[in-house]
Amino acid sequence: MNIWEGKKINSGVAIGKAKILKKADNLVKRISIDDADAEKQRYDAAKEKAIEQLMALYDKAVKEVGEVNAQIFEVHSMMLEDDDYNDSVYNIIESQMVNAEYAVATTGDNFSDMFANMEDEYFKARAADVKDISERVVNILAGVDTGDDMGDEPVIIFAEDLAPSETVQMDKSKLLGFVTHLGSANSHTAILARTMGIPALIGIEADDSWNGKTAILDGYSGRLIIDPDEDTLKEYEAKRQKDLEYKELLLSLKGKENVTQSGQKINIYANIGKVSDVAAVLDNDAGGIGLFRSEFLYLEKDTFPTEEEQFNAYRQVAENMAGKKVIIRTLDIGADKQVDYFNLGKEDNPALGYRAIRICLTQPDIFKTQLRALFRASYHGNIAIMYPMIISVDEVRKIKKIAEEVKAELISEGFKIGNVEQGIMIETPAAAVISDLLAKEVDFFSIGTNDLTQYTLAIDRQNSKLDEFYDSHHEAVLRLIEMVVKNAHKEGIWAGICGELGADTTLTERFLEMGLDELSVSPARVLAVRKAVRDTK
């Protein structure tokens, strides 16, 4: 039995087999071979496995995000069967007597460059697709586990690091928890762990020998145990059972009001990142969706999601919520959420850089496409829109002008639009300080405490070295929240929290004293926050 200490980023106990994920080395080596036929057979076998993976992903995506959004996997599968692509791989293997990995990587680069230099936008978009399928085949040839196939039984995932897009694509039914070497307790990947309600640790470097061994992840103490002895296994089975009993207690609160013992009421909504998360929202009895992180529609793709793809996703969420409020945040790309096809470029300080609403206002075509999809979907449910990273009244007025133009266009084209509330996220000190002015321009405030804390304390929340200095309970942050709530109520609009702090039940009573109208938390935390509200006198 071996024990390691890490940093806890979500509580709970996970017991299961360890699965080590490794990222591919970007450098594909050229290796001379003696048998071209054998190498071609290696390629054929890897290609068939890649097609199997893609079709499995297609079936999964159809269930989770609908057929339109799943079609990318079908397209990738078809590209792998393209004669020109396969002939190029075979030719490089035969003529140069080189390994299949090199032949696939070279073919991928050549075809990608060819598509990228075409004038037709459709073919330009295929450049990224060719690279993606080539990388998939190279990974299979190299024996690298990409995480698509998580096996038949639930596992604890170990990785050097996990990007938000990688975490989102995992099969949640097979994911007991995860452990990463790198990362921060306040990163978006950590937030996703809390959204999914699974235990997670950071700061532990996995050993290849752990793969397939029994592991215990203790999200309460930050402890990881590999190959536990029988007594330790029994001890943690009992802890896990206690966890399950507490969850059963929370389940008894389903259908109950979010009301204190003195009669004060508050809305408790849920934060989600993709369409399939709605199941967890409904299962945990949230009153609505306080934050739909629409950027994950962009993170999961190799090119910009179309208006139709976005419309289908937003409509599906609105319809599934059956009239309950669904607040959708416009894309918040940038900082730690990088997307290659946005071509944002390197920045010395991306957290303070070109991101979120700044991209939308300087690239209005991207923004208008999303707004068109949102306003169209609003006819199918109770959709509200909120805009991130606001720092000025001028920005809000520019947004409102663009939104009015989009609505006018849609109406002239015969589309029906619902009654859409438009609000902003308060996540910069600038927005908090002028919240009295901003409240005159919008229908609601949603306080993003993750970034508000980061910017108020001048601490990069992605930097794990600063975790001990990052204090989300800092009085400066709490005073800014209280100021925002007061200024909202003076203008007759509501104010809520959609950041991680909303789920902190040690602050629930103080938030109620401030008069917050809504707390939006990860689905797994809805009932715990409801309990804290109902326990408040």
Catalytic residues: 188, 498
- 271: helix, coil or strand? strand
Q: Which residues pair with 330 in a beta bridge?
A: none
CA 511 to chain centre: 26
Residue spans of alpha helices (H) in 66-202: 67-80, 83-96, 100-116, 121-142, 164-168, 188-196
Residues 6+ away with beta carbon under 8 Å from 235? none
Using alpha carbons, select from 234, 205, 233, 239 the residue that is nearest to residue 219: 239
Question: Per DSSP, what are the bridge partners of residue 346?
Answer: none
Which three-class secondary structure state does DSSP give residue 284?
Answer: coil
Residue 384: strand, helix, or coil: strand
Q: Strand pairing partners for 218?
A: 13, 223
Q: Residue 8, SS3?
A: strand
Q: CB–CB of 176/65 below 8 Å?
A: no
For the chain, give the longest Cα–Cα distance: 81
Q: Which residues contact 435 (CB under 8 A, 6 or more apart)?
A: 426, 445, 483, 484, 487, 488
> How is 345-357 classified by DSSP, letter by letter?
---S-GGGSS-TH
Q: What angle do CA 497, 502, 508 make, to 5 degrees?
A: 115
Q: One-letter amino acid identity for 434?
A: I
| CB neighbourhood size of 277 (10 A) | 24
In the block, residue with structure tokens 């032949």? 103
338 contacts 368 by C-beta, under 8 angstroms: no
Which of 313, 451, 300 has the alpha carbon at shortest distance from 388? 451
Asked if 170 contacts 156 with a C-beta cutoff of 8 angstroms, the reply is no
Three-class SS state of 276: helix
Structure tokens at 403: 């939104």
Listed as own residue / partner, the contacts of 126-133 with beta carbons closer than 8 Å and 24 or more positions apart are 126/79, 128/302, 128/303, 128/340, 128/341, 129/72, 129/75, 129/76, 129/79, 129/302, 129/303, 130/79, 130/85, 132/76, 132/302, 133/50, 133/76, 133/79, 133/80, 133/108
The rounded distance, in Å, linking the Cα atoms of 467 and 185 is 7
